[in-house]
Amino acid sequence: MLSRLFHRRRNTLVDPLEVRNSRVAAEVISASNGESEPRQGEVPRGEGSHNLLRLISRPRPQDTANRVSNAVQLVEALRRVEGVSNGNRRGAGHGQPLQIFVALALRELDELIDRMSYEELLQAFGDRQFGSGIDANELNSIPVLTCSHTEAKTMAAAGESCSVCLDSFCANQTLRKLPGCCHAFHADCIDPWLRKKADCPVCRRPVKPAGEGKD
């Protein structure tokens, strides 16, 4: 995923160096801070955008422990919004600002990695496993459900949303609830993720399809 996003960043029409001080970047940060309701074309507020904003806004660490921690957190935050950056964002008008936001995070990660020693890189990523996803049969064994009006209101009141696209759940949408951790997502958001990564994008718990591991 990261190599693909780095490739996209190098070929984007938007230069991240210019974006940091641009009007669009200011609007993205303003929307993410909740200073105003996001207009069409701005990134919506959500946990993923807040995490990226926090990570790219804080001062660059000088010590090994914090450099390693920041790099790992940036990778995890970028993986969380992968579905959005790949065009799975629900609704129109949100793609370009989110690409800019991801580009800023990638630039921050790039500069952070440039300052890390070989030992720090090994500490951050050497033992991290980014395995393959589940196959079609395993995916189909994970039940889907249709969100009711009551469920939509309950989840909205609790502040729950799909952490892939960052949108709230609405009545009559098709959801998929992962076994084990029970985190819910829009089916058309989580399915592409699970085909590539067999873990929950929220808690990183391995996804075991229904019936797996039972005698």
Q: What is the pLDDT along the chain (215 residues), one digit of tens a residue?
A: 444 434 443 343 333 333 333 333 444 444 444 444 444 434 344 445 556 666 666 666 566 556 666 666 767 667 666 554 444 444 434 445 556 666 777 777 777 777 777 677 666 665 554 557 888 888 999 989 999 999 999 988 888 888 878 788 999 999 999 988 888 899 988 888 888 888 888 887 888 765 554 44
Domains and CATH numbers, the chain: 2-125 (no CATH), 136-196 (3.30.40.10)
Q: For residue 63, what pLDDT is reported?
A: 62
pLDDT number for residue 29: 42
Counting Cα atoms < 13 Å in the Cβ hemisphere of 25 gives 19
DSSP letter assigned to residue 120: H
All residues at 6 or more sequence positions from 183 whose CB lies less than 8 Å from its CB, including other chains: 163, 177, 200, 202, 203
H helix intervals, 58-186 = 64-80, 82-83, 95-114, 118-125, 136-140, 149-157
In terms of pTM, does the model score above 0.75?
no
Q: Which residues contact 24 (CB under 8 A, 6 or more apart)?
A: 96, 97, 100
